[in-house]
Amino acid sequence: MTQTQPPETGFTTLADIEAFEQTPLAAHDLPATTYDAIKRGAAINPSAPALSFFTSGADYDKPKVVSHGELLAKVTQTANALRKLGLGPDDVVAYVLPNLPETHFTIWGGSAAGRVLAINPLLEADQIADLLKAANTKILVTLEKTPRSDLWEKCRAATIMVPSIEHIVTCSVFDWMDGAAASVFGALSRARSSKLRIINRPIPITRFSDLIKDAHADALEFEAPKPSDISTMLCTGGTTGLPKIAPRTHASEVYDAWALSHFNPTISKPGVSVLCGLPLFHSNAILVTGLLVFMSGGNVVLATPQGYRGDGVFPNFWKIVDHYKIVTFSGVPTVYSALLDVPRDGLDISSVVFGACGAAPMPVELFNTFVEATGIPIVEGYGLTEGAVASSLNPTVPDGGARIGSIGLRLPHQKMRCAVLDDDNAFQRWSDTDEVGVILISGPNVFDGYLIESQNSGLFYEIEGERWMSTGDLARQDSDGYFWMTGRKKELIIRGGHNIDPKIIEEAMHAHPGVTMAAAIGRPDVKAGELPVLYYEGDDIAAAELAEFAAEHVTERAAIPKDFVRLDALPVTGVGKIHKPSLTMLEIERAIRAEASAKGLAIADLELAQDNQRGIVAKLRMTSGTEDMRHALGLYAFNVDYED
């Protein structure tokens, strides 16, 4: 069968996608597994750079380079070494690591030999232990004891609580550094004990470089995984109680990277450079600025172990773009806001085709300001871990039809629709054009369910013989096929692109004797997007006391509320559930009045209401200074209509 190809510039309309789908997915030549995808990229030009890594933003022009041939060899060695260490095809190797080349070796080598669990290194020891136990982890890969990092100490404490762990593998950032300090710290690490001594259970410790040095690099020494086998398992949602772990297959990850590459073929050509600044426990970093680039023969510029948070990354960002001729990068709104203050004079940043944003809503004013200042389009999309990474994307070529505020068009060969559900979340019917509903997705990227079966209740629907997954997000689809988010049914707080489950705040604060009812929501914030705040019923308690209690009992540091607001009665629905949209309206009103006060402007009238198509909308009339307020409030993600 002749394969239908997307336009040379990529998809720009839903009709393009539908025409491309005339060729069945099975007829396209996709790699069978992520390991095969790495092999395919290496075959294009084995000597071309696959990874360019630097430990400090100031040293961006002195990278340690891993070629495609070397990447394939390291991944193969890692897979063979892990299998010899006892990792079977259904066993789990977990990594708790910063962004290092070894992180990629572990992801792709580990998923060839078994299953890989990615864990956020910012979590506390008990949270790490919960995830390791839930996955029945056999091997742990983490950072060795390192100055200015508590990662080894946290993983050591976590390992004591996880009886299934049989081996620890440690990585060293000093292996990628030059100079006397690197030599000294490297020597110290080699002199450390080769066992973690736990009562009656000594656990062997092996340095990563020692683990793979004698392993075969030319081919896998065991039966290769199948497309339907589990590749990676990523953590999503809250971290209290039973953690949510989303297993994804090789086929789902390969498909999603492949589908995204067709939106703009420019970013998936051999030899192009893509910047990775997001953490490598995140699906975007793993697939969009990882596998997609590797399988295309491109170069991933791995910007420091801490990514965007690394020393010197932001001050040198545009120099990095100029030096490597970066074609694209992914970031949350706070990244784009920070980049506006970084000098660009005398630098050539014309190589950037677009910047991607999808973890949090992009404020319109920030969008327009960034595009006007840099000439770089921002492309918004939508996805979730349970759908590999992406489910929709705006056209990514200039004047290609992208719509500000929209999350774009669905991926080819993946279905995405809005559905009307009843109060019990049962499917009633598909939403009409421009009618708000819950986003459901169905396709080769959608996972089969969480590792813990009890967490799958109400997640999937059988509709007209097809299996659909509920994302929990609210949106509408317009007549041209574009989706527009209107809210989040699942009520996550998104702080700087980091998802916070309100339950971890509410459950902790309900333990305070003076709090009888609590509700955590996101407060609009220019820099972070949202900050967690707590509304509560109960005693009149000093904010300092509640803050101290939260710091001790809320297990995730990013989730500690920034403010505490007491109400005589929290708003509730007809069935007695807390009505969080009402609290969100209070926070939006607070933000609007604070901006007006800071600018010395007077509000004539302010009303907030729920719009059927746009979600919560503020209707604002100023006595004067409307344009000043329009500019100030444009930096927030909420909707404002201005009245004369």
Nearest to 85 by CA among 106, 101, 99, 56: 106
Size (the chain), residues = 644
Strand order in the sheet with 326-330: 64-67, 49-54, 299-303, 273-276, 326-330, 354-357, 378-382, 392-393, 409-410
Same domain as 311, residue 335: yes
Looking at the structure, tell me whether residues 482 and 503 fall in a common domain.
no
Same domain for 483 and 595?
no
The predicted-structure confidence for 368-420, as pLDDT tens digits, reads as follows 889 999 999 999 999 999 999 999 999 887 666 778 889 999 999 999 999 99
Q: Share the mean pLDDT of the chain.
A: 90
512 and 418, same structural domain?
no
For residue 496, the model assigns a pLDDT of 78
CA dist 438 and 235 (Å) reads: 22
For 121-152, the pLDDT digits (tens) are 988 899 899 999 999 999 999 999 998 899 99
Q: Convert the pLDDT of each residue in 240-285 to its tens digit.
A: 455 689 999 999 999 999 999 998 888 889 999 999 999 999 999 9
Q: Is residue 100 part of a domain?
A: yes
How many alpha carbons lie under 13 Å from residue 249 in its C-beta half-sphere? Answer: 17
Q: Tell me if 455 is assigned to some domain.
A: yes
The verdict on residue 403 lying in a domain is no
Alpha-carbon distance of 429 to 153, in angstroms, equals: 52
pLDDT of residue 403: 83
Claim to verify: residue 249 and residue 117 sit in the same structural domain: yes
pLDDT at 240: 43
Domain holding 634: CATH number?
3.30.300.30
Residue 399 lies in a domain: no
444 located within any domain: yes
- By residue range, what is the domain housing residue 423? 414-488
* Residue 372 near residue 336 (C-beta atoms within 8 A): no
Same domain, 477 and 497: no
H helices present in 403-562, as ranges: 502-509, 543-553
253, 138 contact by CB (below 8 A): no
Residue 382 sits in the same domain as residue 464 = no
Query: 84-105: per-residue pLDDT in tens?
Result: 999 999 999 999 999 999 999 9
Alpha helices in 422-483 (DSSP H): none
Among candidate residues 148, 176, 149, 147, the one with its CA nearest the CA of residue 59: 176
Q: What tens digit of pLDDT does each residue of 609-618 get? A: 887 677 789 9
Quote the CA–CA distance of 265 and 7 in Å, as a whole number: 9
Claim to verify: residue 158 and residue 298 sit in the same structural domain: yes
433 pLDDT higher than 70:
yes
Which position has the token pair 């969080």? 580
The residue ranges of DSSP E strands in 48-108, in sequence order, are 49-54, 64-67, 92-96
Q: Are residues 65 and 158 in the same domain?
A: yes
Give the pLDDT confidence of 280-309 residue by residue, as tens digits. Answer: 999 999 999 999 999 999 999 999 999 999
- Give residue-wise pLDDT tens across range 559-597: 999 999 999 988 876 556 688 889 999 999 999 999 999
Do 418 and 385 lie in one domain? The reply is no
* 405 belongs to a structural domain: no
Give me the long-range contacts of 229-232 (CB less than 8 A, separation at least 24).
229/33, 229/89, 230/111, 230/115, 231/33, 231/34, 231/111, 231/115, 231/116, 232/107, 232/111, 232/115, 232/116, 232/117, 232/118, 232/286
Q: What CATH code is carried by the domain that includes residue 483?
A: 2.30.38.10
Contacts of 587 (CB under 8 A, 6+ apart): 521, 522, 523, 524, 533
In-domain check, residue 3: no
Instruction: Tell me: do 199 and 348 sit in the same domain.
Output: yes
Domain final residue, candidates 339, 364, 393: 393
Structure confidence at residue 239 (pLDDT):
39
Domain boundary among 488, 518, 545: 488
Q: What is the pLDDT of residue 1?
A: 47
Give the burial string for 605-632 (b: 16+ CB within 10 Å, else e): ebebeeeeebbbbbebebeebeeebeeb
Quick one: pLDDT band at residue 238, thresholds 50, 70, 90?
Answer: very low
Label residue 186 by pLDDT band (50, 70, 90): low
* In a domain? residue 229: yes
Q: What is the pLDDT of residues 307-319, one digit of tens each?
A: 999 999 999 999 9
Domain final residue, candidates 440, 464, 488:
488
Side chain identity at 467, as an amino acid letter?
R
Number of domains in the chain: 3
Predicted confidence at residue 365, as pLDDT, reads: 81
Cβ partners under 8 Å of residue 40, min gap 6: 31, 295
**pLDDT tens digit string along 161-182?**
999 999 999 999 999 988 766 6
Q: What CATH code is carried by the domain that includes residue 383?
A: 3.40.50.12780
Report d(CA 317, CA 310) in Å as an integer: 11
- Same domain, yes or no: 388 and 419: no
